[in-house]
Structures are given as C-alpha cells and as structure tokens.
Amino acid sequence: MSEFVFATAQYESGDWDSAPLVPANLIDSIARYTSIPVAPTGAVVPLASSDALRFPFLFLTGHLPVRFSEQERGTIRKYLDRGGFLFIDDHNHDIDGAFHKTVTEEIVRAGGPLVRVPKRHALYSSFFQFPDGPPNTSHELNGWGDNLLHPELSAVLRGDRIALLYSNKDYSSEWSYHPENKRFSSVDNTRFGVNIVVYALTR
Amino acid sequence: MTTMERVLSTRRQLTLVAIARSLVLGVSAGLLVMVVVTMARIMRGSDGGALGWSLAIMASLVTGLSEFRRLRGPGFSVPRVSLWIEEHAPALQYALVTAVEGGGPAELDRSVAAVDWSPATRRAARRALAWPVLGLMGCAALLLVSDAVAPVVSRIAGDTRGTPRGVAGELDVALRVTPPAYARRDVAVLRNPSVVRALVGSEVRVTSPANAIIALEADRGGVPRTSGPASWRVGAQPVALRVRSGDASRLVTIDPLPDSAPVVVLREPTRDTVLADPSGTFTLGADARDDLGLRAASFEYIVSSGSGESFTFASGAIGARAFGGTATGSIAGRLSLGALGLKPGDFVHVRAVATDLRDDTASARGASETRTIRIARAGELDSVAIEAAAPPEADKAILSQRMLINLTEALVRRRPRIDRATLSAESGRIGRDQARLRKQVSDIVFSRLGDDPSGEHFHGDGHQHEGQELRPALTPDELLKAAENATVAAAGAVLDFEGDETPVVAVNRPLLEAYNFMWEAGRELEQSAPERALPPMYRALDAIQRARAAERLYLRSRPPRAVVDVERVRLQGKDRGSPAAREPRAPATGAARAALARFARVVGLAAADPAAAADSLLLLRIDLLGAITPDAAAAAAAAADALRRGRDAGPGLAAFRNALGSGVQVADSLSRWSGIR
C-alpha cells in the first residue's frame, strides 16, 4: 500500500498558501494517532493540473476571493466524481466574507449543491468522537475569538459519500503551527483533522 | 459575303463556344463539389446542405469566369480572330489579316474568298466542348450515385474517421432529424446513430433505406405515434425505436431535449418596500436568458387596493421589448407610483416576464420573483419602519492583485467584442479596485516609513483635486531613505540582513515597487488601456510575492520547512481514537439489483454478440435515463456505439457501471472465511 501524501491545492486566484504549517501539523497528527502510512512532507499540486487526480485528499484554503479557471473547475469535477476528497476551509471565518461567498459559488459550479453535514454524520466519529459536531476553534469562542460560531459544516455529496467538505470555521488558523508545539496543548486541537483524513481514506 | 463579314461570323461562333465551354466547366466544378460535400456529409452524419450549395455555386462561378477570362484573353478583336483563323486554315497562307485590314491587292481578296475555314472552326469547337461535356456528364452521374456510394466509403473509412460501422446483421440507416421550426436549428442527418438527442417536437425520418419503417421497440407507457410509418415525432418521453427493412433492423433510442422556459432575474427593485407616500418613480431592471432564444420580455404589475374582503385589482405591462431570438437580453423601465393612483394600504406587485420562441405553452413563459411595494396606511405610520429600497449591493471586498490581473486579462480578451463605453466603464472599475489595493499597500508602507500613519491620500473613490497632479507624495528612494532613518539608522544598530540590504529595506523595497507599479497600472486602466496596464500589474504581483517572503524573514522568520519525523511520533499521541463501527452500506434495492443484473448480462454478451449487447445496453439506458446523470447516459451511449463499431467499450461501460451504484447485496450464507465449509 502506498503511503498517504497530504496534498495542498494551489489555485490561480487568491492566496492558496495562507496556512503553510497545516499540512505538517496534520501529517504529524496522522502519524501520532493512527497507523496510516504517511509521507513526512506534504505536496503542493496545481488545481489546474491533472496531477491533482493522483492524490486521494486535497486541502484548499485562503482569505481572498476565489475564482477558479475553467481548467480548475474541470479538475475539481473530475476529482470529486472519481472518488477524491477535497477539504476547503475558509481562512477568514467571517460571515458572508469574500472567500466564503466566492468559494461557495465556485463549489456549486464545479461540484454541485452544498448540503449541511448533520452532527451525527460518520465524519464526526470516523476516528475521534465529536458528538456535538465540528469542534469550535479558538477564533470562534467568546473571550478568545469574536463569538462568530459556525455550528455546521457543509458538503458536496457523491452518492452518500462526502466528496467535498467545506468549513468556514477557520481550521486553517487553528492548525497552522509547528507540530512540535503540540506538547504545550492539553488537548490536541488537530484531532478533527485526523477524522477528516480517516474519513477521506476509508469512504 | 465579304471577308470581313465572314470573319465577324467566325468571331460570334468562337465567342459562343468560349461561353459554352466556360459554362460547362463551371457547372462541372459545382457538381464535383456537391459530390464531395455529399460524401463528407453522409460520412460525418451531418446535414450541411446549405454549405454544400454555397460551395458549389462559388466553385461554378470561379471556374466558369476563370475559364472565360482565359479564353477571351485581351478580347475577341477582329485582328485576333483573323490570326486564329490563319493559324487553323493554312490554305489562307497568312493573307487574312492583310485582307481584313484592307488596302491589299484585289488578288488577295480573291484568294481569301476561295478558302472555306468553317470546317476548321467546327473542329475546334468540337475539341473545345467534347471533354468538358463528358466531364459534366461524369460529375452528374457521380452526384446521382453518391448517395449509394457514400455508405460504402463510410464503411471503409469508418475506423479512421469515427463513422459508425454497422456490425453484421444490423441495418444501415440514415436518419434526418428536423427540429421544430421555432427552434431555428439546422436539420441533422445521422448515419447509424445509437442515440438521437432531439428537441421535443422534432421529426425523425428514415431517409435510407427507402422502405424502412419505424416501430416502438417496447411500449413503455403507451407512447402514441403521431406521424407516418417512416418517421417519428419526438415526444416528452425517451423511447427505443426499431428501424426495420426486410429482415434487418437497428435499434435507435431517442433522448428528448425539453425546451426550457426563459430564466428571468429582476435586478431592480432589489427588495420589497414600504412607502409612506404614493409618489415617486421606481427604476425597473431585469435580465433574461433562454436556451433557444428569447422572443420578448416585459414588466408586469398588479395593483391591489382595498381591505378586509373587498379588494380590487388592476394590472398592466411596461417596458416591453422584443428580442427576436437572442439568447440573452435585458429590459429596463420606470414605474411611476403617482400615475397608478395609489392610496394608503395599496400594494403594487412587480415582476418581469419573458417568452421564448415557442410562445405557445405556459412553460414557454418565464417569470422573475415578485417585488411588493406597499403604501403604508395613515394609522400605522408611527409604528411602521419605513425602509426605502436598498441600492444594489456593491462588492466591498478588496480584490487581490491576482484577481485584478484575471479581470484585466478577461477584459483584454473581450475587448474586440465590446464597445468603447463598456471598455471604459469596466477598465475604470478595475482601476478603482486597483486603487483600493494600492491604498492597502500604502497603509502598510507609509505607516511604517512616513510621518503620516494613515498613509497616502486616497483617490480610489474617484474624487480629484483641481490643479493637482495625481502622484505619490515621496519617490521610492526618498521613502527608503526615510525608512533607514526611521528604523535601523536611527536606532544605530542593524538587526538582521538579507543579502546586502537591511531587513527594513528588504521588506519595504518590493512593497514600494508594487505600490508604484500599481500606480502605473491604475493610470493605464483609468485611460481605458487594459492591455498596457497588464505588464505593471504582473510586476506588482511579483513584487508583492517578494515582499511576502521578505516580510516573513523580517518579522517572524520564514516558516520552517516542517518535515515530520513520522517514526518518532508514530502513535505517541496523548489520545487514542475510538472510531465508531462503520455502518454497512445499504443493500441495493430491487430496482437497482435488476439494473445491475441487466448490466451484467450486457457485459456477458459484449464479446459474443456485440450488437445484442449494444441493444440491451441502450434499452437499459432508456429505462434509467431519469435516474442517472447525463454523463453516465453519455457513457452508455458511447459504450453502445463502441460495441457496434467493434471498438473498446470498456471505459464507457465502467462509467455507466459506476453510475448504477454500489450494488452491495446481502448474502444469505456465511462467508467463505468463516471457518464453516
């Protein structure tokens, strides 16, 4: 079995590389909690290239408005239809922000309608248990954050499988730190990332 | 008859021969083109009739005129005709030209009169016309038999040109698909199709073989026949048809394409409104589009007055516009509330409607959502929040330099198709976005380097100062010098270096470059020259990228290239996962199982009897057409075509199989590895 490579999607518009430490952090978490063979470094793959189809999991984030090119849309469509899992996270976590509005439009155009992921979905129990749905980030919580809570994630389905997971909870900010710094946390906040990857690789 | 009269008579004959030869050659060329076009049309399965006629007429004209011009040369003058006669009648001994020009001795006229050159003229005419006439007859014969020859050629060329090649036992058919007249689409001629996608109301007629008849393969829901034995009127339901001629037959499935109603979007007013006073004017705006073409669009309003159980209604239409078949269109209008005679408590409902070219059924009419304008009652003024219609929402987001480049590139591409006013408006809009972004950059740079932390004075909103030139306050060098003074030099110590520059310079130089390039790009955009704006925009983006790298180096250091020591951290996490048991996939339903079983039979037949497999696959596809995606339906059609042509149907079959679902079945017996045999 070939090892899992954490791939970050590079797209033309916006800032695709706004969370440079997320890949390493999740790679560390996958190794730390699971026995999934995983490559020690991630890969960056242009979304306009068919190389994206070689990776079972793609991570996409950014702050700025997103407008996919026709090639990028075509790759996404093929990627979702052929069993890939695309995780898109809004690095702003605001309400109706530029990234959110544009990327959701693009998601619908490229992949199909977004539906809410119920809190009892298998995504929340694929490895760690999250009975209350997606964990909140420190940017959302009152006191630390701005109290803008996004209680649910959205998804594009292929059959009963989540093919594209969309979050505007700003996990990109939450997880973009060096994995060595995990030792300072009482609770590892990347555990939900493990769930996402495990779900992507097993469904 | 004098010598001159004889020469003039010959000249007339030669002119007629030249005209006849040119005509015959021209017509031959036209027929030849028609033969080629007919063969190509049948091989490609398209119509192209109009194109064929145009090419044939053009070829005829060009060939005929060229030939006549060649024969005529400088003109059919008397000396030239005389020379031609001298050349073809040696008995004249080259005396004709002299005789015609006059002034020669009388013996000369007598010797010329003694020579009869009419046999030479007839021989020349026969020679000039014989081969062209033979060619004309050959081309005509070719054209007559081309319809019979084309299928043979099609079969020979089928493998290399993608033309369906009938497998043994299947009927070769040609179908003419005539869309309904309102659609204004071309007639299509299809050769051996597996699937015909046609607008509802189209007529599918068998043009070859002549004695073929069409019958429903299996009656699925009582589809009525609405046309003759060799044709089929496309209805709303997909059908499988069997085309028969003698003992041979072919299965053809029809995918009906419904004509969608126009899609109408009301742009203005943007939302419902409550007004205190029934006066003023509302601006109306709407966009409409249709798959085949718009006929007309207008705004409809309904005024409802009254209260309790007593209401009166009045309606009307404004802003009507005819489109004549364009795919998209916009309408605009103004609704004067004063002219409607509204009273407190009245409602005005406004919507936009559009009709497409069909215009004969309710589904051909599309409508936008309705906006309601209400006039507040006198007694509720104190408690009702009066909200005016909101202006159209403006995009307040700052666009990235990459996005601005994308927009500008798109504008440059569209430039040949848009008028000057649109170009100026769009270029100006991008320029204002560029100015906003430049303002962001300036806020960063100027607040660090200058005395004014608020940065430059912003002109991105379009306002100007009389008599003042639009330019940054300081040059880059001045700003960098200020940076040095304000930070490193003033502090008297160097904190860090990148190359041979201090960190402050390394950070700020590319930002300043970006800032200046943005100025340059913005200026070009304001002057409606987007193509000239692109180079500085590219350079600004490059400078921003460099600034980002420098920024990280200076402020927080570059993010380390994190290589995870997987072996060291493997399973060292504080927590242990407790994944829930995966739920088994739902077993396939009866219908899905039946479809999978039919598909399995198709696959089983594919090698032994591809024609039967293709037929079965097409029937399965028709039955599932509403339940599978268009891509899967297309894959099934491609697989059926591939089976009929003897090609690899694997990819199409695989795609269609995926669309059929997982097909998990619950086994009644224990599995083999359970230990029980």
Structural domain tally of chain B?
5
Instruction: Give the domain-ending residue among B136, B160, B184.
Output: B160
Confidence at residue A10, expressed as pLDDT on a 0 to 100 scale: 92
- Does the pLDDT of residue A163 top 50, yes or no? yes
Q: How confident is the model at residue B152 (pLDDT cuts 50, 70, 90)?
A: low
* Position B571 in a domain: no
pLDDT above 80 (res B389):
no
Report yes or no on B284 lying in a domain.
yes
Residue B550: per-residue pLDDT? 59
Contact yes or no for B611/B248 (Cβ under 8 A): no
Q: Which residue has the higher pLDDT, A21 or B98?
A: A21
CATH of the domain spanning A7-202: 3.40.50.12140
Higher pLDDT, A138 or B126: B126
Question: Residue B536: which pLDDT band, with cuts at 50, 70 and 90?
Answer: very high
CA distance A122 to chain B (A): 8
pLDDT of residue B507: 59
B633: pLDDT confidence band, cut at 50, 70 and 90? confident
Please answer yes or no on whether B577 and A34 come within 8 Å at the CB atom.
Answer: yes
CB pairs under 8 A between A and B: 100
Q: What is the pLDDT of residue A141?
A: 63
DSSP character at residue A108? H
Tell me which of A12, A13, A38, A156 to substitute to probe the interface with B (most B C-beta atoms closer than 10 Å): A13
Q: Could you give the CA distance from residue B406 to residue B401 in angstroms, rounded to a whole number?
A: 9
**Backbone dihedral region for residue A192 (phi beyond 0: left; psi -120 to 50: alpha; all else: beta):** alpha
CB contact under 8 A, B564 and A40: yes
Residue B608's nearest CA partner among B246, B167, B195 is B167
pLDDT of the residue at B141: 87
Cite the DSSP H helix spans in B235-307.
Answer: none
In chain B, which residue's Cα lies nearest the Cα of A131?
B580
Q: Which helix (H) or strand (E) holds B199?
A: strand B195-199
**Residue numbers in B near A5 (CB within 8 A):** none
pLDDT, tens digit, 9 for 90 and up, residues B444-503: 776 655 545 444 544 444 444 444 444 445 565 666 666 555 544 444 444 443 444 455
- In chain A, domain spans: 7-202
Task: Report yes or no on B675 lying in a domain.
Answer: no
- Name the minimum distance, in Å, from the CA of A143 to any CA of chain B: 26
Same domain for B359 and B249? no
Mean pLDDT confidence for A136-142: 74
Query: Is the per-residue pLDDT at B338 higher than 80?
Result: yes
Query: Cα A51 to the chain's mean position, in Å?
Result: 19
Chain B residue with minimum CA distance to A19: B559
> Does residue B676 sit within a domain?
no
Shortest Cα–Cα distance, A27 to chain B (Å): 7
Gap from B207 CA to chain A (nearest CA, Å) = 39
Q: Are residues B413 and B537 in the same domain?
A: yes
Cross-chain Cβ contact B571/A35 below 8 Å:
yes
Higher confidence at residue B626 or residue B30?
Answer: B30
Structural domain includes residue B562:
no
- Over residues A91-133, the pLDDT tens digits come to 887 777 888 988 999 999 999 999 999 999 999 999 999 999 9
Judge whether B127 lies within some domain: yes
Average pLDDT, chain B: 78
Rounded average pLDDT over B311-326: 87
Same-domain pairing of B516 and B613: no
Enumerate residues 6+ apart whose C-beta is below 8 A from B143: B31, B34, B35, B38
- Looking at residue B670, its pLDDT comes to 46
What number of CA atoms fall less than 13 Å from residue B2's CA on the CB side?
Answer: 8
Q: Which residues of B touch A38 (CB under 8 A)?
A: 564, 566
Range of the domain at B224: 174-257
In which band, very low, low, confident or very high, does the pLDDT at B646 lie, cut at 50, 70 and 90? confident
Does the structure show a pLDDT above 60 at B227?
no
Q: Please tell me whether residues B352 and B474 are part of one structural domain.
A: no
Average pLDDT over residues B122-143: 88
- At B611-626, the pLDDT tens digits run 899 999 999 888 888 7
Question: Are residue B8 and residue B128 in the same domain, yes or no?
Answer: yes
Tell me what the mean pLDDT of segment A168-196 comes to. 91
Query: What pLDDT, on the 0 to 100 scale, is given for residue A130?
Result: 94
Instruction: Read off the pLDDT of residues B185-203 as tens digits, 9 standing for 90 and up.
Output: 888 888 888 889 898 888 8
Q: What is the mean pLDDT of residues B222-247?
A: 76
Answer yes or no: do A33 and B579 touch at CB < 8 A. Answer: no
Give the residue-averaged pLDDT of B286-291: 91
- Spatial distance between the Cα atoms of B47 and B175, rounded to a whole number of angstroms: 10
Q: What is the pLDDT of residues B108-125, one digit of tens each?
A: 777 888 888 888 888 888
Residues B407 and B456 in one domain: yes
Instruction: Tell me what percent of chain A is helix, strand and coil, each rounded to the nearest 5.
Output: 35, 20, 45
In a domain, B392, yes or no: no
- B123 & B232 share domain: no
* CATH number, domain containing residue B307: 2.60.40.10
Tell me: do B625 and B506 sit in the same domain. Answer: no
What pLDDT does residue B669 have?
47
Residue of A6, A15, A17, A28 for testing the chain B interface, max B β-carbons within 10 Å: A28
Res B271: pLDDT? 81
Quick one: pLDDT at residue A1?
A: 60
pLDDT at A196: 97
The per-residue pLDDT for A45 is 93
What is the enclosing helix (H) or strand (E) of A44? strand A43-46
Q: Is B23 exposed, middle or buried (0-12, 13-18, 19+ CB in 10 A)?
A: middle
| B169 is a domain residue | no
Structural Rg of chain B based on CA atoms: 41
**A41 in Cβ contact with A197 (< 8 Å):** no
Measure the CA–CA gap between B231 and B229, rounded to whole angstroms: 6
Residue of B564, B570, B572 to mutate when probing chain A, most A C-beta within 10 A: B564
Q: Which residues contact A196 (CB under 8 A, 6 or more apart)?
A: A87, A123, A165
In this structure, the answer to whether residues B552 and B456 fall within a common structural domain is yes
Please indicate whether, in this complex, the C-beta atoms of A128 and B662 are within 8 angstroms of each other.
Answer: no
pLDDT of residue B325: 84
Q: How far is B284 from chain A (nearest CA, A)?
A: 26
Inter-chain CB proximity B569 and A179 less than 8 Å:
yes
Among the listed residues B532, B521, B407, the one whose alpha carbon sits nearest the alpha carbon of residue A69: B407
Same domain for B196 and B216?
yes
Same domain flag for B460 and B529 = yes
Tell me, yes or no, whether B7 and B156 share the same domain.
Answer: yes
pLDDT exceeds 90 at position B88: no
pLDDT over 70 at A75, yes or no = yes
